[in-house]
Amino acid sequence: MSGPPDDRTVDRDLGAVLDQVISAIQETKQAEWPESDHGRRRALDELRTFLIAQAMAISEAEEHLGGRDPSLMNPTAHRVRDLRTEAGGDRDAWMALLLSRLQAVAADARTRAAHIEGAAEATLFIALADGLNRRVAPLREP
């Protein structure tokens, strides 16, 4: 890319990542609420808290660009995946679905950071991806 991307490109990527982060917050909450293992529940709570902070940072970045791109759908208007049902009620399968989803969010954030390379907002996406990777690692442990 020659030079920083235009604001519209950055705003579209911010909106797309925000949509994913909001979904990840809701999906993490689904896993956190019934978790009986204290350490795992604490890790899920920290993950959800981190995701909420990331959503706020992305929203603030959108505001600095003049607000959300009007062509983007309201991120809370979409239907939230029911991970428990998708996993057939199996706790391990449910957690695997969540962790896979979080890995996908991290990977997409890195891709989008490269897409908007040169824009200050790219650092938000890298921080999101790095933070997700750090917080997902302990959840992979049995």
4-31 per-position pLDDT tens digit: 788 889 999 998 999 899 999 999 998 8
Is residue 75 situated within a structural domain?
A: no
Domain containing residue 107: CATH number: 1.20.1260.10
Non-local CB neighbours of 82 within 8 Å, separated by 6+ positions: 30
Distances (CA, A) of 99 to 69, 126, 132: 29, 18, 10
Conformation bin of residue 100: beta by default, left when phi > 0, alpha when psi is -120 to 50: alpha
Domain count within the chain: 1
| Secondary structure of residue 29 in the 3-state scheme | helix
112-128 residue pLDDT tens = 999 999 999 999 999 99
In this predicted model, which residue has the larger pLDDT, 141 or 116? Answer: 116
Is residue 77 situated within a structural domain?
A: no
Rounded mean pLDDT, 93-105: 93
Tokens linked to 87: 């996993």
Is residue 79 situated within a structural domain?
A: no
Task: Please state, in angstroms and rounded to a whole number, the distance separating the CA atoms of residues 30 and 10.
Answer: 30
Tokens linked to 57: 């940072």
Is residue 33 situated within a structural domain?
A: yes
Closest CA to 15 of 62, 49, 78, 53: 62
Query: What pLDDT does residue 142 have?
Result: 66
Task: Please state, in angstroms and rounded to a whole number, the distance separating the CA atoms of residues 119 and 121.
Answer: 5
Distance of CA 63 to the CA centre of its chain: 19
